[in-house]
Structure 1
Amino acid sequence: MTLILTLLAVVAFIVFATAKLKMHPFLTLLLATFMAAFAFGLPAADIAKTITSGFGGILGYIGLVIVLGTIIGTILEKSGAAITLADVVIRVLGQRFPNLTMSIIGYIVSIPVFCDSGFVILNSLKQSLANRMKVSSVAMSVALATGLYATHTFVPPTPGPIAAAGNLGLEAHLGLVIVIGLFLAAIAALAGLWWANRFAGVEPDGEGAQELTAQAEQYETLKASYGELPKPLPAFAPILVPILLICLGSIANFPSKPFGEEVIWQVLNFLGQPLNALMIGLFLSLGLLKSGDRLKEFSDRISQGLVIAAPILLITGAGGAFGAVIKATPIGDFLGSSLSALGIGIFMPFVVAAALKSAQGSSTVALVATSALVAPMLGDIGLGTEMGRVLTVMAIGAGAMTVSHANDSFFWVVTQFSRMSVSQAYRAQTMATAVQGCTAMALVYILSLFLL
């Protein structure tokens, strides 16, 4: 019981420090790591070594993947490729189902681009369509936001799911994480769309709602600011090619060896490794650069991507250090056996992630911290297999979207750009993320009945 109370105190510190004291998650996780090491009686001489090895270990596996994925997303955002992706979806689906169209656009764009940035980029497009088709901008805002949110929490190369997969030892099986993540994200997006449609007759009631028509008119100006937009093939290639290669690499390494073990297997095994696949995606993104001095523009995009990636890397590394300390103490075995007796299994990582997300606001922090916490105990609760770890990532992702409210920056992006009042945003956006998370978790549980 003392071990559990100690762990709860450490988790409570993480929540309190990030949510109330507004401390940076990196420092919070690092302090929590030292607290856990001393509280659980780790030998003083081993503490620094355990922390540094845990920090470096996770970044050695996944750090460069996070950096490359972030740089690709930055290039897609700054080049106008995200606008091209949205326009292609509109042309394919037409304008008959505007909310579905916005949900699909968000689902695609948020794979490489952060959901906050994605909403800002696509907001004027959303409002333009809402005005053109005389439909509720509240419903379209929630449809776009939940579409963005779905892939943000489930699908690599978004940093949160990548970090969680790395903490759970799945860096060699990202293809499987991507495939199942895309499926779960699609269901979560549909759940968010269902909730969005409940607001089909509702207009925003926040300050500045009358300005939305002017916002819509800015879409053409926004498009014009990018100059000539990228063509669809170059815009999609940096996203789809790496995902396809990673998936093929995972298939090539199935026990049945469907591609044999000769040249084809060697090629797919090499190209399907996440680092190699994303390097190819980065080279493909070079075609999106369009200034006279492409080398300078490329350097600028790398610098911008590194600024975005740096805090994510630090938080991920601190999460790895936290996990290493937990693994070095007896709490993993004890908590694993205790939870096994309770029989909550796959729901445990969901509950922990949901508690962390709802308390401190960041989905990435919830994904990193929860995966580091539960990694040492997966074997004891029946989730130690490859598929068990993949479903654990999905359960954590479901928790990490439950729920987005006032302590989440994405909540305020959606609220302010959509001109919703806080109370309206709670009813529309916050409840939508609750529906998404619970629906996704229910599906994870159903999958676990057949796959574990």
Structure 2
Amino acid sequence: MDIFLVRVLACLTIGIGMIVLFTAKFRVHAFFALVIACFLVGLGVGLPFDGVLTAIKEGFGNILKSLGVLIVLGTTLAAILEYTGCTHVMANAILKCVGEKRAALAMSFTGLIVGLPIFCDSGYIVLSGLNKSLAKSTGISMIIMAVSLATGLYAVHCLIPPHPGAAAAAGIIGADFGKLILIGVMAAIPSMFAGYLWANYAGSKIPKPTTEEELSVSDDITYPSVMKAFMPVVIPIMLIALKSFFVVDPGASNQWINTLLVTGDPVIALAIGILLAFNARRGWRKDTVAKLLQDGAEKAGGILVIIGAGGAFGAVLAATKIGNHLGGALPLASMGIFFPFLLTFILKTAQGSSTVAIITAASIVLPLLHALGLDTDKGHILCVLAMGAGSMMISHANDAYFWVIAKFSGLEMKTMLKVYSIATICMGLTSFVMVYILSYLL
């Protein structure tokens, strides 16, 4: 084997190990862990210090240039939807369609839809009160209700932009956002069902917790209509999708087509979603609007520095030309989408964060796309979805979302491991099987 390749792989293994150690054990912010790994890998393979520094700056800037505004708008939309009560209205609308006897399935669908613009931890916190009320009124175990909601939110969180992991991976790999959303839904829905079915099967075998209490939902808010509640989520997705699948003659000058192409840009589409979310409530005060916008921007800040550091790590790996060496030494062509899936699965299980796992994996996979046979538009989408499937499993005690579910549902760790953690395995494997099937159908 190439001696330089051995050196690169050793440095890469040490670098990934440092990321896992710092983030999982010492609770160091992922930004600093990734930057340290950049220098460790870059200097370890013999790159000059100024070369590593230049790669870090360029990688950081390039990824924020493509994703920065998108992430800020996504977090802002989530904050407004929570405040206006749109999430509550969407949950109730789905429940009415499905029926109380299928309350757990209703919460899974609620998580799937509400989770499109809202991060899984925020979505769970917002809907936990409604979830507890339904568990008490229907007599369904809180274990089943909690995991059903959690897995519905989790399915889209790992697979579909504008969630930071999927968005960053799409930006790094170069996947089309609109097509990724629509094809990602095809993998997310079966994944949601896999989580729901396991929740019902495993949850029914565990005695109901005796500490279940109803968390009251505030009634001092005037909720928007169902149409107003769904529009901020549905309209942006439709606009992005239409642009991605709209074939247009480059020489055409049709005003309607040009308008469609502009509004279908993810940034413009999310901005329209924010305006529609504001329209869901009347009588806005200046300080309330300012607070919501500030909250959205501040929450985005922590995400952006991680994504930027992930882009920097990818730039350093690209500078080492690891792809050329690995492509000649390993039978990557025969591995295809299995390699990004397996790599992300290992990273997720080891350090806990789906976002960090998929960003790190995308940085490693980028120079290997040609060797894996994924260096096409279709291959880029399948690669991102395979990494998203891998980033689902296994969620356990080192995952912050794991503790959000346990805390807000009053579930013990042993129960969470038996039901929720195994549900994430079912979801990840189901998603990957769907991606594999889609690789032949697309």
- TM-score > 0.5 by shorter chain: yes
Which residue does the alignment assign to 1:224? 219
* Candidates 271, 278, 281, aligned match of 1:279: 271
Quick check: 1:204–1:421 contact (8 Å CA) kept in 2? no
> Cα distance 1:257–1:401, how it changes in 2: closer, same or farther (>3 A)?
farther
Deviation at 1:302, TM superposition (A): 0.9
8 Å Cα contact 2:310/2:360 also seen in 1: yes
Per the alignment, in what secondary structure is the counterpart of residue 420 of structure 1? coil
**In the aligned structure 2, how far is the partner of 1:337 from the partner of 1:127?**
55
Cα displacement (A) at 1:200: 4.9
Task: Identify unmatched segments of 5+ residues in structure 1.
Answer: none
Deviation at 1:95, TM superposition (A): 1.7
**2:260 maps to what in 1?**
268
Say whether 1:130 aligns with 2:138. no
1:382 and 2:387 aligned: no
Pair 292,435 (structure 1): closer, same or farther in 2 beyond 3 Å: closer
From 14, 25, 33, the equivalent of 1:28 is 33
Q: Secondary structure at the match of 1:214?
A: coil
| Rounded Cα–Cα distance in structure 1 between residues aligned with 2:162 and 2:153 | 14
Q: CA deviation at 1:17?
A: 1.3
CA displacement at 1:368 relative to structure 2: 1.4
Corresponding position: 1:196 with 2:199: yes
Instruction: Number of aligned residue pairs: give it.
Output: 437
For the pair 1:10 / 2:15, whether they are aligned, the reply is yes
Q: CA deviation at 1:289?
A: 4.4
1:432 and 2:437 are equivalent in the alignment: no
Q: Deviation of residue 330 (structure 1)?
A: 1.9
Deviation of the 1:291 alpha carbon:
4.7
Distance (whole Å) between structure 1 residues aligned to residue 425 and residue 345 of structure 2: 10
Q: Which residue of 1 aligns with 2:294?
A: 303
Which whole-Å CA distance do the structure 2 matches of 1:286 and 1:123 have between them? 23
The CA distance in 2 between the partners of 1:166 and 1:204, in whole Å, is 45
Give the whole-Å Cα distance in 1 for the aligned partners of 2:184 and 2:365. Answer: 19
User: Residues 56 and 202 of structure 1: is their aligned pair in 2 closer, same or farther, counting only changes over 3 Å?
Assistant: same
Aligned partner (choices 296, 307, 314) of residue 323 of structure 1: 314
Mapped to 2, the partners of 1:437 and 1:139 lie a distance apart of 19
Q: CA RMSD in A?
A: 1.9
Kept in 2, the 8 Å contact 1:204–1:420? The answer is no
Identify which of 49, 52, 75 aligns with 2:54. 49
Separation in 2 of the partners of 1:389 and 1:342?
15
How far is 1:125 from its partner?
1.4
3-state SS in 1 of match to 2:75 = helix
For residues 157-210 of structure 1, the C-alpha deviation after alignment (integer angstroms, 9 at most, x for no partner) is 22221111111122xx210010011111101101101101103534566xxx43
CA–CA separation in structure 2 for the residues paired with 1:238 and 1:395: 28
CA–CA distance in structure 1, aligned partners of residues 207 and 249 of structure 2:
55
TM-score, with length taken from structure 1: 0.92
Is the contact between residue 30 and residue 322 of structure 1 (CA under 8 Å) also seen in structure 2? yes
TM-score relative to the length of structure 2: 0.94
CA contact 2:60–2:310 (8 Å) conserved in 1: yes
Verify the 8 A CA contact 2:317 2:364 in the aligned structure 1.
Answer: yes
The structure-2 alpha-carbon separation of the partners of 1:292 and 1:270, relative to structure 1 and needing over 3 Å to count, comes to closer
- Percent of pairs identical after alignment? 39
Q: State the one-letter code of the partner of 1:30.
A: V
Counterpart contact for 2:172–2:362, Cα < 8 Å:
yes
Aligned ranges for residues 123-272 of structure 1 at < 5 Å? Answer: 123-170=128-175, 173-202=176-205, 209-215=209-215, 218=216, 222-225=217-220, 227-252=221-246, 254=247, 262-272=254-264
Q: Contact (CA 8 Å) 2:93, 2:226: kept in 1 or not?
A: yes
- The alpha carbon displacement at 1:41 in A equals 2.0
